[in-house]
């Protein structure tokens, strides 16, 4: 899908003035002028109706400035591939333009001299921080507009709860109605009710100054009040949103937005027009204001944070695929709904990234509804228009699921494969040479006895063919590669390269992962081969059994696109003690103890900024900083020492090895689609998931010659479900060529069990290229378990030798 902002002067879904209470009457039809659906659940109240004003005060749509990223929605001319504007710098540039220009193409609102345009809030994706804010100042020193004086409101949480109890018991809701009507009548009243101290400025980003407990109690009670109470809250919100903007927003305004976004009424689709305008105004705030909101969001409890995030995801999903289209204005009148909601959602993603540990998993931000839109159109819009002039979900990849990203990468890979193959064919024909089908593939011929050297030679000689479809042939074997030989080639090659005796990688037993050997050598081509193998696996949708720590994938995306300048360092990223914990937990624990040591570090440890490593039996020393051997580690500089030490181990000591690995991977996977991925998602694409769900496999299995109720099949699943994990993995490897689960889960394996009309003395047979198990009709469970165990435990090669 593509979403564009309304043209200047176009009729968006506008927010009605609250002069006509009928606009919010539950159960009534949607007002055509305002496009506000009435909330459901209450009958018409004729007594409340007054004559509708002919000229309602309305909130006009924000018009994008020419050439700006005003929401990133309009199509514009494209001279080169646009990069995304950095969140921390772009808004300042936009503000300068706004302040110095009075162009008629700027946002126009009545009686407003200075109106800020809708800013993009995504970071440069090449930094691989998915719509997050990496570092924020503890205090923002920008000039703060003076706060207007607040009304005096003395009601406490206890007073409100007593009013609620009295109303429930007596049926008289007047006191509660008065409280809600007054509190939500304006931004000032909201602050007066919920601010901890009406006279305190609360200008820090760490403290919103809001009584979170009071807000939660008021909102928890709201949905249990009569409809006229709930209607009064919505009227008040409209009043607040319709107030004119007069220059910069105050911190009290931000507090009002912060509170209003938590309103549970916005889960109801009948309130979506109001919610959309609230989201639009929140998205249009300045960079400094967003900083405050992000830090305030991260203080919300996990439960409520998840509710707010789910509400935004639901809003986007229902706008894309409404259950009742008549509930909403036509899409052409509210094209800004989805971009605004997505921008606000990115603030929650930023807050989640800043929290340590994250409040919720990054996967909770996935919107599976996007799996059903035209993803390639989104991807091409993003490629062509970058972060300006046109909205694309690819600008906010945190919302796109790993399954959807896999589809984008696969289709992008297929298009590259077709393009390369077509060019080879054209070149052949232009030279008047006879076309050969083999020219359309990357053909790799290897001997099992010389697997690594043959593979390295083949890939080195055929660099120009790396983006063609891969086909593997084992010399001296009759296997035809329909996918199974390719899977086995990957498996055997990875197993041999990562063997400790090979010396390329070190296996750390405590963390159960491999890391690059720091031993210096003259040729790092084999590291490039491993990188190319990983790239080919992603490119050809093969999962590999590789156990790298998460830090490896973070380095692999630093940067996600190979820089044009070959002198630019690659594979270097910010590393912390937590990264070292994932590889060398004992060493990381020792360094952590050093940081918390209460004695005299210099006298008790007697260490300097120098480290020692054993290489081929010899001890070598390395300075962590110039003249590090002469700089003692003290209580004052120990943090610096630990940071330098971690950086040395994970970046500097293995730079040449990892750079070769990096270039090998990107020689195959040089797609811009990589910019959409988090390091964790790259790991899943490369390795799949190690967690097996054999019950899910049982549900998705197809049968040929058998019925799922047949005795042999029932025996099979009883045996398999009773297997220990290692035998279950061997079964998966025996039938599919890999013991890992692909991104889409067990269902994506398309696992099939076929009846093999042979003697029951035979072992089961597998066709790994089709993920198919050929199972003879064994007579009893004991025989099936014995033959199956022998078969899956001795599975390598094609045919018997």
Average pLDDT on 374-400 reads: 88
**CA-CA distances (angstroms) from residue 295 to 238, 298, 749?**
26, 5, 43
The rounded mean pLDDT for the chain is: 80
Does 609 score more than 50 pLDDT?
Answer: yes
Report pLDDT for 615: 75
Task: Using pLDDT thresholds of 50, 70 and 90, give the confidence band for residue 784.
Answer: very high
Highest mean pLDDT (candidates 197-211, 230-244, 364-378, 409-423): 364-378
Contact 39, 32 (CB under 8 A): no
Q: What is the pLDDT of residues 55-100, one digit of tens each?
A: 333 443 433 333 333 333 333 333 333 333 333 333 344 334 444 4
Q: Who's near 237: CB < 8 A, 6+ residues apart?
A: 184, 260, 263, 274, 278
279-324: pLDDT as tens digits: 999 999 999 899 999 999 999 999 999 999 999 999 999 999 998 8
* Residue 146: predicted pLDDT: 57
DSSP 8-state code for residue 541: T
**What is the structure's pLDDT at 25?**
34
Predicted local confidence at residue 455, as pLDDT: 92
Which pLDDT score is estimated for 102?
36
Give residue-wise pLDDT tens across range 346-365: 999 999 999 989 999 999 99
Pick the more confident residue, 114 or 343: 343
Residue 687 above 90 pLDDT?
no
Q: Which residues are catalytic?
A: 769
Contact at 8 Å (CB) between 506 and 514? yes
> Which domains, and CATH codes, for the chain?
27-59+210-221+242-396 (no CATH), 411-573+664-687 (3.90.1750.10), 577-650 (3.30.2160.10), 694-793 (3.30.2410.10)
Band (482; pLDDT cuts 50, 70, 90):
low
**What's the confidence (pLDDT) of residue 109?**
33
The alpha carbon of residue 478 and the mean position of all alpha carbons in its chain are separated, in whole angstroms, by: 44
Provide the pLDDT for residue 68: 34
pLDDT at 213: 94
Please tell me the predicted confidence (pLDDT) of residue 57. 38
pLDDT of residue 481: 63
Share of the chain above pLDDT 90, in %: 49
How high is the pLDDT of residue 201? 67
Give dist(CA 129, CA 123) in Å, integer: 7
The pLDDT tens digits for 203-227 are: 778 888 899 999 999 999 999 999 9
Q: In 3D, which of 296, 283, 472 has the Cα closest to residue 396?
A: 283
What sign does the CA torsion over 17, 18, 21, 23 have? positive
Backbone angles phi, psi at 225, to 5 degrees: -100, 165
Q: Please give the full DSSP string across 431-467, using - where no structure is assigned.
A: TT----GGGGEEEEEE-GGGHHHHHHHHHHHTGGGTT
* Residue 334 near residue 328, CB atoms below 8 Å: yes
Cα 701 from chain centre: 31
Least confident of 51-65, 169-183, 519-533: 51-65
* Per-residue pLDDT tens digits for 101-136: 433 333 333 333 333 333 343 444 433 333 333 344
3-state secondary structure of 588: helix
405-425 average pLDDT score: 83
Q: What residues contact 185, with CB distance under 8 A and at least 6 apart?
A: 236, 239, 240
Structure tokens at 779: 């007579």
Torsion of CA 82, 84, 85, 86, to 10 degrees: -150
Share of the chain above pLDDT 70, in %: 78
Average pLDDT over residues 28-53: 39
Distance, CA of 34 to CA of 273 (rounded, Å):
9
Average pLDDT over residues 576-595: 95
Residue 99 DSSP SS3? helix
DSSP string, 692-733: --HHHHHHH-EEES--TTSHHHHHHHHHHHHS-HHHHHHHHH
- Give dist(CA 214, CA 160) in Å, integer: 9
Beta bridge partners of 753: 703, 773
């Amino acid at each position: 899908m593509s979403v564009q902002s309304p043209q200047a002067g176009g009729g968006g879904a506008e927010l009605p003035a609250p002069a006509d209470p009928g606009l919010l009457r539950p159960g009534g039809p949607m007002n055509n002028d305002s496009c506000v659906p009435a909330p459901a659940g209450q009958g018409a109240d004729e007594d409340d109706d007054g004559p509708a004003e002919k000229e309602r005060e309305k909130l006009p749509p924000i018009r994008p400035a020419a050439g700006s990223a005003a929401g990133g929605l309009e199509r514009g001319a494209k001279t080169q591939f646009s990069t995304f504007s950095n969140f921390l710098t772009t808004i300042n540039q936009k503000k300068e333009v706004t302040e110095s220009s009075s162009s008629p193409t700027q946002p126009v609102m009545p009686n407003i001299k200075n109106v800020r345009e809708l800013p993009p809030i995504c970071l440069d994706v090449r930094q691989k921080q998915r719509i997050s804010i990496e570092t924020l100042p503890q205090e923002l020193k920008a000039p703060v507009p003076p706060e207007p004086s607040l009304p005096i409101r003395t009601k406490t949480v206890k007073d409100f709860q007593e009013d609620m109890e009295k109303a429930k018991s007596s049926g008289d809701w007047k006191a509660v109605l008065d409280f809600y009507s007054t509190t939500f009548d304006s931004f000032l009243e909201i602050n007066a009710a919920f601010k901890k101290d009406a006279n305190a400025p609360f200008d820090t980003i760490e403290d919103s100054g809001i009584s979170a407990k009071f807000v939660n109690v008021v909102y928890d009670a709201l949905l249990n009040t009569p409809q006229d109470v709930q209607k009064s809250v919505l009227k008040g919100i409209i009043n607040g949103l319709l107030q004119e903007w007069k220059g910069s927003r105050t911190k009290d305004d931000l507090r009002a937005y912060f509170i209003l976004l938590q309103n549970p009424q916005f889960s109801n689709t009948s309130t979506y027009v109001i919610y959309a305008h609230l989201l639009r105004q929140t998205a249009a705030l300045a960079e400094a204001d967003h900083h405050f909101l992000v830090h305030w969001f991260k203080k919300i409890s996990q439960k409520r944070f998840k509710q707010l995030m789910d509400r935004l995801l639901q809003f986007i999903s229902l706008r894309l695929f409404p259950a009742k289209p008549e509930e909403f204005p036509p899409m052409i009148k509210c094209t800004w709904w989805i971009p605004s909601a997505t921008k606000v959602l990115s603030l929650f993603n930023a807050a989640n990234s800043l929290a340590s540990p994250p409040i919720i998993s990054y996967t909770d931000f996935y919107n599976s509804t996007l799996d059903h839109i035209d993803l390639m159109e989104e991807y091409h819009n993003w490629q062509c228009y970058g972060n300006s002039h046109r909205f694309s979900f690819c600008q906010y990849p945190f919302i796109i699921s790993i399954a959807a990203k896999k589809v984008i990468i696969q289709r992008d890979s297929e298009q590259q494969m077709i393009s390369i193959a077509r060019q080879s064919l054209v070149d052949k024909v232009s030279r008047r040479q006879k076309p050969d089908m083999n020219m359309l593939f990357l053909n790799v011929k290897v001997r099992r006895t010389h697997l690594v050297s043959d593979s390295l030679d083949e890939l080195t000689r055929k660099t120009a063919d790396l983006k063609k479809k891969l086909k593997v042939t084992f010399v001296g074997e009759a296997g035809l590669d329909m996918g199974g030989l390719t899977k086995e080639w990957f498996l055997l090659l990875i197993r041999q390269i990562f063997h400790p005796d090979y010396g390329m990688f070190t296996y750390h037993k405590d963390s159960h992962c491999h890391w690059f050997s720091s031993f210096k050598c003259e040729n790092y081509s084999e590291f490039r081969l491993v990188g190319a193998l990983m790239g080919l696996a992603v490119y050809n949708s093969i999962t590999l059994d590789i156990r790298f720590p998460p830090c490896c994938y973070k380095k692999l995306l630093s940067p996600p696109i190979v820089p044009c300048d070959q002198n630019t360092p690659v594979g270097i990223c910010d590393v912390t003690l937590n990264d070292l914990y994932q590889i060398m937990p004992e060493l990381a624990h020792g360094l952590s103890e050093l940081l918390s040591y209460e004695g005299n570090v210099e006298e008790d440890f007697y260490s300097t900024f120098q480290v020692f490593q054993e290489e081929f039996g010899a001890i070598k020393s390395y300075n962590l900083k110039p003249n590090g051997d002469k700089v003692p580690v003290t209580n004052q500089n120990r943090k610096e020492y630990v940071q330098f030490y971690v950086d040395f181990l994970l970046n500097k000591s293995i730079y040449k090895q990892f750079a070769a690995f990096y270039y090998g991977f990107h020689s195959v996977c040089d797609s811009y689609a990589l910019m959409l991925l988090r390091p964790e998602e790259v790991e899943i694409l490369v390795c799949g998931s190690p967690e097996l769900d054999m019950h899910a496999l049982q549900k998705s299995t197809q049968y040929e010659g058998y019925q799922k109720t047949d005795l042999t099949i029932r025996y099979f699943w009883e045996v398999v479900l009773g297997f220990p994990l290692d035998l279950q993995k061997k079964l998966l490897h025996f039938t599919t060529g890999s013991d890992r689960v692909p991104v889409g889960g067990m269902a994506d394996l398309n696992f099939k069990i076929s009846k093999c009309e042979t003697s029951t003395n035979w072992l089961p047979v597998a066709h790994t290229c089709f993920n198919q198990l050929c199972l003879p009709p064994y007579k009893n469970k004991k025989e099936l378990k014995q033959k199956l165990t022998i078969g899956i435990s001795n599975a390598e090669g094609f045919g018997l030798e």
